Amino acid sequence: MSGSEALDRRPRPLIGICAAWDRAAWSFWDQDAALVAGTYLDCVRRAGGLPLMLAPEPLGESDVESLIARVDGLLLIGGADLDPACYGEAATARTEATFPLRDEFELALVRAAFAADLPLLGICRGLQIMNAATGGTLHQHLTDAGFAEHRALPGSLGEPTMHALAVEPGPLPAAAAPVPGMVNSHHHQGVDRVGADGEVVARSLPDQLVEAVRWPRQRYALGVQWHPEALEMDATIGGLVAAAKEPRPEAAGPAVPYAGMVGKRNGPMEEVEL
């Protein structure tokens, strides 16, 4: 067997995709369901990954460790507002619907992924979860904070939602695709204080809102505010899959909370020691 044939027979990297939880209708049914849009699944498959939907679930420590051990990469997708308690703030009148179980599920997995050095990509809400998990905060409503409207056409990720980016100097994670010059937006919250060890990769123009953050201590940890699954020219999800194909570092430790500032759901920020 040639080397290329052996590579072709390797299992596809398993990409855990944290699902949304919402009301859905199909066939004769209309009920609560765990949801992942087909666009995310298609992007993972095209990049050579095997998508696995992870439904929001109360997790014990052993559950977290088991999930992180079984996947090769973690993808956090868009969705509802984060409960501001996740980053130590009170909700305002601008806070929209929140789903605390999904928040807690994703925060636990993100912190464990950081601790285990598991490749991780956050999209839209996913960037915000990564930022909150490492002690950052959010603007709860962008226009109130002096930024532009980033949800120009609700329910659309097409041309009216596009805007330019300014890319900050500095390297991206090794497997990451180049940052596109034009991206789409569909969010009313955004990164305020960047989480521990995070570095801003790109900002929106002209309002300078943080649009992408990387965590350079990690093998691959990138969050983007735009929706690459809706942009055929953007290979961002392919970068996650490429990183997930690489062997795990032997030195990766157990799935313990990430060192840094971590928001408690009902209290102030506290320092977490490893």
Look up 227 and say whether it is catalytic.
Answer: yes
Cα 86 to Cα 6: distance, rounded to the nearest angstrom? 45
Active-site residue (options: 89, 106, 211, 229): 229
Can 124 be counted among the known catalytic residues? yes
**Structural contact between residues 254 and 116, judged by C-beta atoms closer than 8 angstroms:** yes
Tokens of 195: 């989480």
Which amino acid, 229? E
Q: Respond yes or no: is residue 139 known to be catalytic.
A: no
Active-site hit among 150, 163, 188, 227: 227
Q: Which pair of structure tokens corresponds to residue 171?
A: 């390297």
- Active-site entry in 89, 124, 186, 188: 124
The catalytic site residues sit at: 124, 227, 229
